[in-house]
Amino acid sequence: MSSRYKLTYFYFRAKGENIRQILTLAGVEFEDVRVHWDKWQQIKNEQPFGQLPLKRLAGENEWEAAQIDALSDQFEDFFQEIRPFYKTYNKLIEGNLNDVYDKIVEPARDKHLPIFSKYLAESSSGFLVGSKLSWIDTQLADHMYTFTEFRPDYARRYPQIEAPFFKFFLLSNMVHYKLVYFPAKGLAETPRQLFALAGVDYEDVRIPKEEWPQHKPNAPFGTAPWLEVDGKKLAQSRAINRYLGKKFGYAGKDDFESAQIDAWGDQFSDYIVDIRTYLPVAAGMAEGDKEKLYKEVVEPAREKFFPLVVKRLSENEAGFLVGDKLSWADLFFANHLEYFVTGGFNSSDYLDKYPELLAYQKRIHNIPEIKKWIEKRPQTAL
């Protein structure tokens, strides 16, 4: 039975906003209860919020989690010092907001923001800790949003916070994505699964075959899929996979891992090129002897490529192609395996010699976010 979350807070952002953003980023539905101040005493003794184990927003390991906790404690110290401003800002106490800002906020800002600025200056990812967004990033970002609404030059002395971090975080959450393809899994399935993993909304446009001629002139290279990011178009499925993988944290923890993931994606694409004469025949889109092509084209290419994958997976205790976490290359390959064995091609013997790869495919597709997507995605023949 899935958990239901209820967040109870006042009619402002403040500490409640960080939790709202974490729940939204995780794709978790919750009841957002906002209490008027005059009704606070009636519910004061109620439990405000249950435990929420969002590990992917709390660091990749214990050391990162500890760093995030340390920065959160530092931010709490900062918050306590400027608390009179929040109370004045939200009209909970009387006072001159500009006076409170000058006497309390500015000294506290210049005491605490250099610490966060230093972390960001030393980070190559643009996040406070590690290579992915964490809840301390959301906490600092909402603080920045509140104060730059009041004083646009609030962080002018701290360009690491104002420019690469603050603008990136706010703008990245306002991006509109549109993925355009046909009513099929095919080359668009990996991007769709990356969106599912990241919990990011997007427009999933599926163009019927008979309508393709009128859409083709809009395609960047005259082919599908393509991705639109705030109206800007990106063609080629592997480029889309790389872009979204990097954007959502599924492209390796450093440049070398990212290059290795690219290498596996390219190697897999070479395999697809080797079997390209079989694919349209198996899909019923071209005439030909399917069984003959399978024996003469697919099996030799499979025996050349699959042992490389088996060897790689046996060498990596984490069970992924690269590093210790899932990447877009794992999704890319697992989708192909599923399609051949149980999907449109229904080649039940495809993995008979490679039970390790069948187990690998099932494990990837049993990741909760992927499993949920597979269960709800449109049912298509291809």
How far is Cα 35 from Cα 11, in angstroms, rounded to an integer? 6
Around 287, how many Cα atoms within 13 Å sit in the side-chain half-sphere?
A: 0
- Output the six-digit token pair for 270: 């070479």
The torsion of the CA quartet 95, 100, 102, 103, rounded to 10 degrees, works out to 120
Tell me: do 31 and 54 sit in the same domain. Answer: yes
Q: What is the mean pLDDT of the chain?
A: 81
Tell me: do 255 and 331 sit in the same domain. Answer: yes
DSSP state of 249: T
Q: Of 109, 131, 43, 147, whose CA–CA distance to 324 is shortest?
A: 131
Number of domains in the chain: 3
How far is Cα 158 from Cα 160, in angstroms, rounded to an integer? 6
Tell me: do 218 and 324 sit in the same domain. Answer: no
Q: Which residue in this structure is represented by tokens 């009619």?
A: 11
Tell me: do 292 and 318 sit in the same domain. Answer: yes
How far is Cα 308 from Cα 306, in angstroms, rounded to an integer? 5
Q: How confident is the model at residue 307 (pLDDT cuts 50, 70, 90)?
A: very high
pLDDT in tens, 317-337: 889 999 888 999 999 999 988
Domain ranges, residue 322 = 249-376
Lowest-pLDDT choice from 88-97, 131-140, 217-226, 257-266 = 131-140
pLDDT in tens, 358-374: 999 999 999 888 898 88
Looking at the predicted structure, is the pLDDT value of residue 344 above 70?
Answer: no
381 found inside a domain: no
Per-residue confidence (pLDDT) for residue 211, from 0 to 100: 92
Q: Of 205, 150, 141, whose CA–CA distance to 172 is shortest?
A: 141
Over residues 165-179, the mean pLDDT reads: 63
Position with higher pLDDT, 379 vs 216: 216
How far is Cα 367 from Cα 86, in angstroms, rounded to an integer? 41
Lowest-pLDDT choice from 10-24, 90-104, 183-197 = 10-24
Residue 186 sits in a domain of what CATH number?
A: 3.40.30.10
What are the contacts of 257-265 at 24+ separation with CB within 8 A?
257/322, 257/323, 257/327, 260/321, 260/322, 260/323, 261/321, 261/322, 261/327, 261/328, 261/329, 262/329, 264/312, 264/321, 264/322, 264/329, 264/333, 265/238, 265/241, 265/328, 265/329, 265/332
- Beta strands in the chain, from DSSP E residues, in sequence order: 5-10, 30-35, 177-181, 203-206, 226-229, 232-235
- Beta strands in 207-330, from DSSP E residues, in sequence order: 226-229, 232-235
Over residues 122-148, the mean pLDDT reads: 79
188 found inside a domain: yes
Residue type, 291: E
Position with higher pLDDT, 3 vs 295: 295
DSSP state of 218: G
pLDDT in tens, 97-134: 889 999 999 999 999 999 988 888 888 777 888 877 77
Domain end position, chosen among 150, 172, 194 = 172
277 found inside a domain: yes
Could you give the percent of the chain with pLDDT greater than 70? 80
Kindly write down the DSSP assignment for every residue of 107-167, as one continuous string. HHHHHHHHHHHHHHHH-SSSSSSTTS--HHHHHHHHHHHHHHHH-TTTTTT-HHIIIIIII
Domain end position, chosen among 111, 137, 172 = 172
Tell me: do 184 and 237 sit in the same domain. Answer: yes
Instruction: Determine the 3-state secondary structure of 333 from DSSP.
Output: helix
Query: CB neighbours of 381 closer than 8 A, spacing ≥ 6?
Result: 184, 344
Residue 132: phi, psi to the nearest 5? -135, 160
308 found inside a domain: yes
Per-residue confidence (pLDDT) for residue 7, from 0 to 100: 66
Q: Do 119 and 129 contact (CB within 8 A), yes or no?
A: yes
Tell me: do 9 and 158 sit in the same domain. Answer: yes
339 found inside a domain: yes
Residue 335 sits in a domain of what CATH number?
A: 1.20.1050.10
Over residues 36-40, the mean pLDDT reads: 54
200 found inside a domain: yes
